[in-house]
A = this chain, B = another copy of it.
Amino acid sequence: MAPRHRVVILGGGFAGLNAAQKLKRAPVEVTLIDRRNFHLFQPLMYQVATGSLSPGEIAAPLRGVLSRQKNAQVLLGEAVDIDPDAKRVILRDGANFEYDSLIVATGSKTSYYGKEEWREWAPSLKTVEEATAIRHKILYAFEWAERAKTEAEARAWLTFVIVGAGATGLELAGALGEIARETLKHDFRHINPTEAQIILVEGGPRVLASYPEDLSAKAEKLVTKLGVEVRKGVMVTNIDENGITFKQGDQTGKLAAKTVLWGGGVITTAFGKKLGERTHAATDKQGRIKVNPDLTVPNYPNIFVVGDLATLDGKNGKPLPGVAQVAIQGGAYAAKAIRARLEGKHDLKPFHYFDAGDMAVIGRASAVANIFGFHVSGLPAWLVWLFIHLINIVEFQNRVMVFIQWGFEYLTFSRGARLITGPSATDVDKQTQAAVAAQASGKG
């Protein structure tokens, strides 16, 4: 028997995992390599950060997902280099893996626009550890406000700044509004959590810049209703432990806030850079690899790049957005292309992104959505959002429980996962910061 075609997939996110699953019946040997042993349902990360869900509830062990797929194996490891001519990836521990086809789906990391030092004070929402760190920051802020000795100190602990009003920033701001106004309402004796100030800061002229203008306006209105103050046209010039400094038009200002969260953009990872260098591929400003219409790297037809690490223009001439649907469809396309080639078919149509629309959730029963060009907001948009995620997560891992629990907490305003874990709860500020920094530096 001839040795089987070896497909190596780097990354078990939406793109990589879907590619692996779509190769189930293909005559190939799939090796899925990831640094983590679990797939993460990213769209619900903000729920972990805000204490509604536990990390375990939005994650599925990769081995579990693929355990019945006989032609697939999962490997815990981190790709650090590639030799595209020898068709080999190199892991951090020195191990080499040869492939016949490679699907790179290693994703992106948070960009601080060159100010890596901000990461320490303003965690983003990219990994489970960061989500947990954000949760700690938020919950500790109220604890520290409760014990503050001066009015100004309490005020700084009760001021929350979210930088960047994209979907992530809005989700965080909305959830924070609910935490302060509902969840913690009765929990303190010396402070009034409902007086917390939640400020969403955006450099551009509107929130949700990539959405149609009417939905941006709607989203701003909805999040304002939750007690969030939206400030547009504000460029953050510095972030440290005491808050942010910013520029607004010609003026500069300061905002004293002990809790700053980062809803900014993404950039390529160290491995993404390496891949670009080794294949001499062109990249965009964020370092994403410009792929062919069939998602392969120019001159390397056996290397597919899918998900956040790739960039390709869509029908409208604009690059496809870095969202889950593009990753899922890209992964499926790469799998299909490999299957087709093995069957001797080389006339596969270019990748076409089927764009069902965008949506951003703003709070309990509140969202905005652009579905096939229809603009919806408020409860109807939220129901659509819920339905789509329900379908996705249930299909994916039969996690009906998450949604039962979640519905339950939505109805009761409770948040079951309000745990602050870590070495100890005293001397907390330094520790939270250190933890965030340590976790952040472990990435990259």
Asked if A299 is at the interface of the complex by the 8 Å CB criterion, the answer is no
Which one of A305-313, A343-351, A363-371, A415-423 contacts B? A415-423
Does A414 lie at the interface of the complex (its beta carbon under 8 Å from any beta carbon of B)?
Answer: yes
- Contact present for B416 and A57 (CB under 8 Å): yes
Proximity string of chain A (263-301) to chain B, C-beta cutoff 8 Å, 1 when within and 0 when not: 000000000000000000000000000000000000000
Instruction: Report yes or no: A418 in contact with B37, Cβ–Cβ below 8 A.
Output: yes
Interface string of A424-444 (1 = CB under 8 A from B): 111110000000001100110
Main DSSP-derived SS at the A contact region: loop
- A128, A190, A408, A417: which has the most chain B beta carbons within 10 Å? A417
User: Which A residues contact B (CB, under 8 angstroms)?
Assistant: 34-38, 53-57, 59-61, 63-64, 67-68, 73-78, 91-93, 95, 128-129, 132, 139-140, 143, 146-147, 184, 186-190, 399, 401, 404-405, 408, 414-428, 438-439, 442-443
**Given the complex, which residues of B lie within 8 Å of A76, measured CB to CB?**
140, 143, 146-147, 425-426, 428
Q: A422: nearest residue on chain B (CB-CB)? A: B129
Q: Is the CB of B416 within 8 A of A56?
A: yes
Across the interface, name the chain B residue whose C-beta is closest to A38.
B419
Question: What is the distance, in angstroms, from A131's C-beta to the closest C-beta of chain B?
Answer: 10
Cβ–Cβ contact B64 & A418, under 8 A: yes
Chain B residues with Cβ below 8 Å from A416 are 56-57, 60, 399, 401
Q: A54-B57, A78-B425 are in contact. List 6 more A-B contacts (CB 8 A).
A: A57-B416, A61-B187, A63-B187, A77-B425, A401-B401, A401-B416
> Which residue of B is nearest A59, CB measured?
B419
> What residues of chain B lie closer than 8 Å to A424, measured between beta carbons?
35, 78, 442-443
- Determine the distance from Cα of A87 to Cα of B75 in the docked complex, in whole angstroms: 59
* Known contacts A93-B427, A421-B128; A63 and B188 CB within 8 A of each other: yes
Decide yes or no: A38 and B93 within 8 Å by CB, A76-B143, A78-B424, A404-B404 being known contacts. Answer: no
* Structural contact, B63 and A184, CB atoms closer than 8 A: yes
Give Cα A187 to B72, complex, Å.
Answer: 10
Decide: A426 and B77 in contact? CB cutoff 8 A. yes
Query: Do B399 and A401 have beta carbons less than 8 Å apart?
Result: no
Specify which chain B residues have a CB less than 8 angstroms from the CB of A93 in the assembled complex. 426-427
Bound complex: CA A424 to CA B56 (Å): 17
Sample of 27 A–B contacts (CB below 8 Å): A34-B425, A37-B139, A37-B418, A37-B420, A37-B425, A38-B418, A38-B419, A54-B417, A55-B419, A55-B421, A56-B418, A63-B187, A75-B146, A76-B146, A76-B147, A76-B425, A77-B147, A91-B426, A92-B426, A92-B427, A93-B426, A95-B147, A129-B421, A401-B404, A401-B405, A404-B404, A424-B443
A73 to B188, CA, bound (A): 7
In the assembly, what is the distance between CA of A139 and CA of B19, in Å?
25
Which 10 A-B residue pairings sit nearest by Cβ, starting from the closest?
A: A423-B442, A56-B417, A54-B54, A54-B56, A63-B187, A67-B186, A61-B418, A73-B189, A76-B143, A92-B426
Q: How far is the CB of A20 from chain B (nearest CB, A)?
A: 14
CA distance A61 to B73 in the complex (A): 40
Q: Give the residue name and chain of the B residue nearest to A405 (CB).
A: B401
Instruction: Tell me how far the C-beta of A198 lies from the nearest C-beta in chain B, rounded to whole angstroms.
Output: 19
A438 near B425: Cβ-Cβ < 8 Å: no
> Is A128 touching B419 in the complex (CB atoms < 8 A)?
yes
Bound-complex Cα distance A76 to B429 (A) = 13
A92 to B430, CA, bound (A): 15
Partner of A55, one of B38, B54, B77, B146: B54
Bound complex: CA of A164 vs CA of B286, how far in Å? 54
- Complex Cα distance, B185 from A68, in Å, reads 10
Q: How far is the CA of A280 from the CA of B325 in the complex (A)?
A: 67
Q: Are A420 and B38 in contact (CB under 8 A)?
A: yes
Instruction: Report the minimal beta-carbon distance from A109 to chain B, rounded to whole angstroms.
Output: 13
The answer for the CA separation of A71 and B186 in the assembled complex, in Å, is 12
